[in-house]
Amino acid sequence: MPAPHSFRTAALIITCYILMGPGCSVSCQKKTSCSVQDGRADCSHLSLSAVPQDLPRNLNSLDVSHNRLRGIPPESLTRYPGLVHLDVSHNSITKLHGGLCETLNLLQTLDMGHNQVLTLQMDDLIHCTNLTHLILASNKLRLRGEPFSALESLKFLDVSKNSLQSAKLGSQSQLPNLVNLSLAFNPIKSLKKDDFTLLSNSTSLQVLNLTSVSLKTLDRGCFQPISSLRTLILDQSNTGTLVIAKVCSELSGTAISALSLRYMKLVTLTNTTFSGLKKTNVTFLDLSHNAMGKIEKGSFQWLPRLETLSLMDNNIKHVTKDTFQGLKSLKWLLLTRALVKSRSSSTPIIDDFSFQPLSALESLILQGTSVQNITEHTFKGLTNLKELDLSCSSYASLNFITNKTFASLAGSPLRMLNLTKAAIRQINPGSFSVFIDLTILYLESNFIRQTLYGKEFEGLGQLQEIHMSFNNQQINLSSTSFVYVPDLRVLTLAKGLIATALDREPSPFSPLTRLTVLDLSHNNIANIKESMLTGLVNLKVLKLQHNNLARVWKSANLGGPVLFLKDTLKLTTLLLDSNGLDEIPADALRGLKDLQVMSLASNLLNPLKESVFNDLQSLKVVILPKNLITTVRPEVFKVPLSNLSLLIMGKNPFDCTCESMLWFASWLNTTNVTYVPGLREQYTCNTPLTYFNRSVLDFDALSCKDMTPFQALYIISSTAVITLIVTALTVRFHGWRIKFYCNIVINRTLGFSDASAEEGREYEYDAYIIHAAEDTAWVEKRMVPLENGRCKFCFEDRDSVPGMSQLGSIVNNMRSSRKILFVVTESLLRDPWCRRFTAHQALHQVIEASRDSVVLVFLQDVHDYKLSRSLFLRRGMLRPCCVLHWPVHKERVQAFHQKLLIALGMTNRLQE
């Protein structure tokens, strides 16, 4: 049931949109205003319907593309008279206003692509004499009269994708400076004799773009007015071989030099297709992506000056000795994927002597091709070949290379041979002996499985680079492996060697005294000899990462650590990551004064010996993350870190103690020349516990400083002074409270109580109740009923002594009450009377009599701070049983009464 399902999907999307809609500006990071930088304003994608008027006046470039403009009235741009570049593409503009160029008289580039401009006439562009680039692609242009006649400076005109039926843009001579004209993607069927006459006085036109213009007929002489044309692009145009032939004959006598015929379904080339180019000087021909299967013999005989021919991505089945006949100037031949084997077709064939006509060829690219056989004659005659690329190919003949495989290149001065991914399994002695000039040999990513005894490279006396990495770790070396290539500068053997390949003496590298780069990484090598690099005095880059060299540098190694770097004193880059190294011998890096990059990531290093890095004065980059480094002390690191531009040392279990980290932490905090990526996140303390997982930057360097006697004295004396001041102030303002606390503390600790003395004295009331007027109702409802013969409360309203002043009465009644009970609510704390007098009086009473006799009943939760501020009381001053809370739950009221009675108990004696 697709319909309901899609309906549900749509509903879901709409719901999401409604929910997410406003948040979209956040989640999509959508632009909401123009960005202005260096006189350029970018106002694209803002749903604008007019040019913004709030931008700086001195703009020279304005981009208002991808908006909703319906027009660009010149008035909207009067603010920006300095504009040189204006992009109004991807809008809905229907008319180009004649006043635009008048307002913007400096305008050089106007992009009006992807709009709705319909008619274009002379007035519209009459003032645009300074314009050099005009893009009107993807509109609906209908030209009236001579719209472009005023464009004297125009160099680039793009009217592609406009449904133009004709290439004729005018009839009078105009556009004297036009260089590049694009008529691409217009349904032009024919080129008439006078189509380009408007350009007859222009000798500057160089490029004509007719991409996807499917011509059917051409008038004789149609290109005559533009005979200065150099580049013609006919890509994707669906014209047959015959029309191509016609185009070529029309180009006869022009200055044409480059022809692009890509994606044209040009399945066959005949011996006449290019015959019209005989009287031209075409040097560049691109025939790629044509599914071309057949090239008739002699097809290229007309192109004696051709220098570059691309036949990339075609389906050529057979190359014969006549295919390239006549291309005697050809220098670059690109046959990348031009000969391929598909499931339905047989493997293509290159005949013997096929390349013989190409005596000038310098570069032959056969990348990604598949060919049945390479014989002793395949490459015969390539007497100038410098580069041969057979990479990514599948030639059965390359599986086992012998002295016959490349015999046909005997006379070629080849410099570079690319045999990357060529499915090579074995190289036999003398295979490359014909390449006496070869300097670079790529043998990467093959399946070479053999021991190299040396003769494989026989004759390569000039060879400077062998790239042999990624050979499935099946290559073994011998002491003579490289005796025939003494000039070698670069040797890469990453992921290519068997683990024991280097375990021999003399070292395979000993003849390579000029070697500067040696890559032995990813080989799982465990054993090397101290003499491995002996004599390699020029070595600059040594890559040994991802091997297994831990034992080699162990002090416990039988015969001591292997100091294999003692001869390579010019080393600038040393990579030893992921080797399981847990120590570096004290002299391992001795004398490496030029070393700039040292990488030891992902080892097990710690601790490092003092001065182990001391000779490395030139270090610029140190990479040491993911080790077990705990301490970074100046004895080890001062020299290597002194002149660094990059340090990567995070993810180590740093010990943030003064001894281990003080120096490093302050170095990190003060360094401003060294870039330390991930400083906050990756440099964290592992120990001690107090710093665990915190950044090394948080390490408190001050805590390490020894306190000098003066500092101690200063701190002691200032502490004393402050204490004195505080004490004096406290005594002055809170003396009574201190006295109160003292009394209570003394009473509690020594067990004294004045209760016994007072016990005898009869009190008139059990408690004097202090409450706010607002709480009267509660008191009457909850307290008064308690009296009930069991006890007697004193309420000021009820029990004031007749005839006495109010104050006197309070004092008197308090005296005759055993306890003083506060009904604490926010109202009480606010009640000025309670606060100012009653409470004070109560307290004085308490303090004077030293009675431990205050009871607090909280009807609301009141913060202790407020309590002390208003009533000068704290919960802590009272025994816990004297602090009561009115319960929220009804069933607890009984228990509350019980507690209250206990608090008002007949004795003031401290209860245990």
Ligand X SMILES: *[C@@H]1O[C@H](CO)[C@@H](O)[C@H](O)[C@H]1NC(C)=O
Shortest approach of ligand X to residue 280 CB, angstroms? 5
Give the binding range for ligand X (CB under 6 A) out of 30-38, 277-285, 490-498, 870-878: 277-285
Shortest approach of ligand X to residue 375 CB, angstroms? 4
415 near 463, Cβ under 8 Å? no
Give the binding range for ligand X (CB under 6 A) out of 45-53, 181-189, 485-493, 533-541: 181-189
SS3 content of the chain, % helix, strand, coil (to 5): 25, 15, 60
487 near 464, Cβ under 8 Å? yes
Shortest approach of ligand X to residue 627 CB, angstroms? 35
Taking only Cα atoms into account, the Rg of the chain, rounded to an integer number of angstroms, comes to 48
Number of residues in contact with ligand X, rule: CB under 6 A? 36
Q: Is residue 271 a contact point for ligand X (CB under 6 A)?
A: yes
> Mind giving me the DSSP string for 277-315?
GGGS---EEE--SS---EE-TTTTTT-TT--EEE--S--
Nearest to 228 by CA among 200, 197, 249, 206: 206
Phi, psi of 312 (to 5 degrees): -55, 150
Q: Is residue 283 a contact point for ligand X (CB under 6 A)?
A: no
Nearer to ligand X, 388 or 884 (CB): 388
195 near 166, Cβ under 8 Å? yes
Give the binding range for ligand X (CB under 6 A) out of 276-284, 585-593, 826-834, 851-859: 276-284
528 near 502, Cβ under 8 Å? yes
Shortest approach of ligand X to residue 400 CB, angstroms? 11
Task: Please report, as residue ranges, which positions from 516 to 535 form the binding site for ligand X (by CB under 6 A).
Answer: none
Question: How far is it, in rounded angstroms, from Cα 501 to Cα 482?
Answer: 13
Q: Is residue 105 a contact point for ligand X (CB under 6 A)?
A: yes
The CB density around residue 41, as the number of other CB atoms within 10 Å, is 21
Phi, psi of 868 (to 5 degrees): -70, -30
Q: Which of 94, 130, 534, 538 binds ligand X (CB under 6 A)?
A: 130
Distance between terminal CA atoms of the chain? 82
Question: How far is it, in rounded angstroms, from Cα 839 to Cα 823?
Answer: 12
User: HSE-up of 432 (CA within 13 Å, CB side)?
Assistant: 31
Extract the tokens encoding 416. Answer: 């570079």
Give the binding range for ligand X (CB under 6 A) out of 388-396, 454-462, 562-570, 661-669: 388-396
Question: How far is it, in rounded angstroms, from Cα 648 to Cα 583?
Answer: 19
Nearer to ligand X, 396 or 712 (CB): 396
Residue 269, strand partner residues: 295
Phi, psi of 664 (to 5 degrees): -65, -45
* Per-residue contact flags (x/-) with ligand X for residues 404 to 433, judged by CB under 6 A: --------------x-xx--------x---
Beta pairing class for 40-42 and 35-37? antiparallel
Shortest approach of ligand X to residue 518 CB, angstroms? 19
Q: Does the CA dihedral 479-485-489-492 come out positive or negative?
A: negative
Nearer to ligand X, 274 or 664 (CB): 274
Question: How far is it, in rounded angstroms, from Cα 168 to Cα 900?
Answer: 110
What residues have CB less than 8 Å from 438, skipping those under 6 apart? 414, 415, 416, 417, 432, 460, 462, 463
Shortest approach of ligand X to residue 182 CB, angstroms? 5
Nearer to ligand X, 147 or 298 (CB): 298
Give the binding range for ligand X (CB under 6 A) out of 76-84, 126-134, 497-505, 903-911: 126-134
Nearer to ligand X, 428 or 868 (CB): 428
Task: Please report, as residue ranges, which positions from 208 to 237 form the binding site for ligand X (by CB under 6 A).
Answer: 209, 211, 233
Residue 319, strand partner residues: 350
Nearer to ligand X, 244 or 828 (CB): 244
Nearer to ligand X, 430 or 607 (CB): 430
Task: Please report, as residue ranges, which positions from 857 to 896 form the binding site for ligand X (by CB under 6 A).
Answer: none
Shortest approach of ligand X to residue 659 CB, angstroms? 52
Task: Please report, as residue ranges, which positions from 389 to 408 form the binding site for ligand X (by CB under 6 A).
Answer: 389, 391-392, 396, 403
Shortest approach of ligand X to residue 374 CB, angstroms? 8
Task: Please report, as residue ranges, which positions from 434 to 463 form the binding site for ligand X (by CB under 6 A).
Answer: 442
Question: How far is it, in rounded angstroms, from Cα 521 to Cα 492?
Answer: 9
Nearest to 113 by CA among 97, 134, 131: 134
Shortest approach of ligand X to residue 477 CB, angstroms? 22
Shortest approach of ligand X to residue 92 CB, angstroms? 21
Q: Is residue 182 a contact point for ligand X (CB under 6 A)?
A: yes
Shortest approach of ligand X to residue 148 CB, angstroms? 13
Shortest approach of ligand X to residue 424 CB, angstroms? 13
Q: CA–CA distance from 571 to each of 469, 543, 564 (Å)?
A: 21, 11, 12
Q: CA–CA distance from 520 to each of 236, 427, 489, 604 (Å)?
A: 48, 20, 14, 21
Q: Which of 46, 48, 255, 621 binds ligand X (CB under 6 A)?
A: 255
Nearer to ligand X, 322 or 775 (CB): 322
86 near 111, Cβ under 8 Å? yes
Amino acid (1-letter code) at residue 385: L
The CB density around residue 123, as the number of other CB atoms within 10 Å, is 15
Nearer to ligand X, 91 or 280 (CB): 280
Q: Which of 201, 342, 723, 776 binds ligand X (CB under 6 A)?
A: 201
Residue 268, strand partner residues: 294
Q: Which of 249, 280, 510, 516 binds ligand X (CB under 6 A)?
A: 280
Q: Which of 12, 20, 106, 726 binds ligand X (CB under 6 A)?
A: 106
Task: Please report, as residue ranges, which positions from 364 to 383 form the binding site for ligand X (by CB under 6 A).
Answer: 367, 372-373, 375
Give the binding range for ligand X (CB under 6 A) out of 36-44, 386-394, 765-773, 865-873: 386-394
Q: Is residue 171 a contact point for ligand X (CB under 6 A)?
A: no
Nearer to ligand X, 31 or 279 (CB): 279
Nearer to ligand X, 402 or 682 (CB): 402
Task: Please report, as residue ranges, which positions from 285 to 304 form the binding site for ligand X (by CB under 6 A).
Answer: 298
Beta pairing class for 217-218 and 190-191? parallel
* Per-residue contact flags (x/-) with ligand X for residues 331 to 370, judged by CB under 6 A: ------------------------------------x---
The CB density around residue 646, as the number of other CB atoms within 10 Å, is 14
Give the binding range for ligand X (CB under 6 A) out of 75-83, 275-283, 782-790, 901-909: 275-283
Token pair 């044309």: residue: 229
Shortest approach of ligand X to residue 352 CB, angstroms? 8
Nearer to ligand X, 160 or 521 (CB): 160
Question: How far is it, in rounded angstroms, from Cα 550 to Cα 583?
Answer: 8
767 near 855, Cβ under 8 Å? yes
Give the binding range for ligand X (CB under 6 A) out of 122-130, 495-503, 621-629, 757-765: 122-130
Nearer to ligand X, 254 or 908 (CB): 254
The CB density around residue 721, as the number of other CB atoms within 10 Å, is 10
Nearer to ligand X, 35 or 373 (CB): 373
Question: How far is it, in rounded angstroms, from Cα 823 to Cα 631?
Answer: 64
Give the binding range for ligand X (CB under 6 A) out of 27-35, 125-133, 547-555, 760-768: 125-133
Extract the tokens encoding 334. Answer: 């690109």
Q: Is residue 812 a contact point for ligand X (CB under 6 A)?
A: no
What is the binding site for ligand X (CB under 6 A)?
105-106, 127, 129-130, 137, 160, 173, 182, 184-185, 201, 209, 211, 233, 253, 255, 271, 279-281, 298, 367, 372-373, 375, 389, 391-392, 396, 403, 418, 420-421, 430, 442
